[in-house]
């Protein structure tokens, strides 16, 4: 299981959006993903509809060291995408962890509970420096920080996020290395030259900084992101084609490139994602659906590459047939 925390001490840069969409995309590629909502404001917890709501959430997990999966893990309407809800309504966890001797390491110590159940754990965090944020970073193999291409955001990144990584460095003495940091430039306006300048500056500044890397993928500012959030869907299912007359690629392609850059080992799986919902039937079959087309069933499990590819081929055939009928 890979553990990635999505962090930024600045609010509103796109942490929750990235967690929801990356998680949704990777689940649609057939991997088992768990989202952990560590933000007191439960934005990620309310992004997707739930098919099963667990009685507990991060409060029981972190305050009581609850380890029973069925007590903690809710299931979203997206197959393969599970969630530990944020339910620390009174914001008690922060104080509690601050005063617990193992506070900042508590999540790290709880990870073995999830290891065999998931391929990826994605942690969404609050947009401010806190014990919870430090705890998330100390549990992660990788920290991903969205940054908007504005000079103020870049400054805050230095002051806040980089400082945080530096401050937890003494944990090295306990054998815990701070995770590498990847910067994701988010909400890039296609025509703003200022945005492009800030983007270049960010790349230059971090070129020589050890442990920090600006990702090649950047995320354009497009309306598909808020639209997907409103519909409770991952963005790649909402915009899988590039709209005519727009230079920014389809959200599906952006998510594919981003996921591929972060998790190169899963690229082959990512190549197969089409943006169409995949449903697992009670018999363990996969069902692909598209409005106006007949549903396609495969005998595959989500881990079976070849069957998956066959299903995609069937889908393309169905697409062609639908088009021919449409034109005929």
Ligand X SMILES: Nc1ncnc2c1ncn2[C@@H]1O[C@H](COP(=O)(O)OP(=O)(O)OP(=O)(O)O)[C@@H](O)[C@H]1O
Residue ranges that bind ligand X, judged by CB under 6 A: 11-17, 39, 43, 127, 186-187, 219, 221-222, 225-226, 229
Q: Residue 226 binds which one of ligand X, Mg ion, none, with CB within 5 to 8 A depending on kind?
A: ligand X
Q: Quick one: which of 179, 185, 235 has its CA closest to 48?
A: 235
Distance CA 48, CA 111 (A): 23
Within 13 Å of residue 148, how many CA atoms lie on the same side as its CB? 14
Q: Judged by CB under 5 A, does residue 43 bind Mg ion?
A: yes
Asked if 181 and 161 count as a contact pair (C-beta separation under 8 A), the reply is yes
10 Å CB burial of residue 174 (0-12, 13-18, 19+) is exposed
Q: Which stretch binds Mg ion (CB under 5 A): 37-45, 63-71, 235-243, 293-301?
A: 37-45
Residues belonging to the chain: 328
Footprint of Mg ion on 11-30 (CB under 5 A): 15-16
| 233 versus 250: smaller Cβ distance to Mg ion | 233
Minimal distance, residue 6 CB to ligand X, in Å? 8
Which is nearer to ligand X, 119 or 156 (by Cβ)? 156
CB of 28 to Mg ion, least distance (A): 22
Interacting partner of 243 out of Mg ion, ligand X, none (Cβ under 5 to 8 A depending on kind)? none
The least CB distance from residue 225 to ligand X, in Å, is: 4
Q: Judge whether 7 and 15 are in contact, CB under 8 Å.
A: yes
Percent of the chain that is helix, strand, coil (3-state, to 5): 45, 20, 35
Considering the complex, what minimum distance in angstroms separates the CB of residue 315 from ligand X?
Answer: 28
CB of 244 to Mg ion, least distance (A): 32
């Amino acid at each position: 299981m890979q553990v990635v925390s999505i962090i930024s001490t600045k609010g509103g840069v796109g942490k929750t959006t990235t967690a929801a969409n990356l998680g949704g995309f990777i689940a649609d590629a057939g991997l088992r993903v768990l989202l952990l909502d560590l933000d007191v404001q439960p934005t990620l917890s309310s992004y997707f509809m739930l098919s099963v709501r667990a009685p507990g959430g991060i409060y029981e997990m972190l305050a009581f060291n609850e380890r029973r999966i069925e007590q903690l893990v809710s299931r979203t309407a997206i197959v393969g995408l599970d969630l530990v809800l944020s339910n620390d309504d009174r914001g008690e966890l922060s104080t509690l962890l601050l005063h617990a001797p193992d506070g900042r390491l508590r999540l790290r110590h709880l990870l073995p509970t999830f290891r065999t159940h998931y391929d990826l754990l994605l942690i969404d965090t609050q947009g401010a420096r806190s014990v919870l944020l430090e705890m998330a970073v100390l549990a992660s193999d990788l920290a991903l920080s969205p940054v908007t291409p504005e000079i103020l955001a870049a400054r805050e990144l230095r002051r806040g996020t980089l400082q945080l990584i530096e401050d937890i460095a003494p944990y090295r003495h306990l054998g815990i290395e701070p995770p590498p940091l990847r910067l994701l430039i988010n909400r890039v306006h296609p025509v703003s030259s200022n945005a492009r300048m800030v983007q270049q500056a960010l790349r230059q500044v971090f070129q020589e900084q050890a442990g920090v890397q600006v990702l090649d993928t950047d995320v354009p500012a497009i309306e598909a992101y808020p639209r997907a959030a409103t519909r409770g869907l991952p963005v790649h299912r909402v915009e899988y084609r590039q709209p005519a007359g727009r230079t920014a690629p389809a959200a599906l392609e952006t998510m594919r490139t981003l996921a591929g850059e972060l998790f190169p080992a899963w690229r082959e799986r990512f190549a197969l994602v089409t943006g169409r919902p995949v449903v697992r039937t009670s018999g363990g079959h996969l069902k692909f659906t598209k409005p106006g087309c007949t549903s396609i069933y495969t005998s595959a499990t989500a881990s079976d590459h070849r069957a998956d590819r066959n299903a995609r081929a069937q889908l393309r055939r169905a697409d062609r047939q639908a088009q021919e009928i449409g034109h005929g």
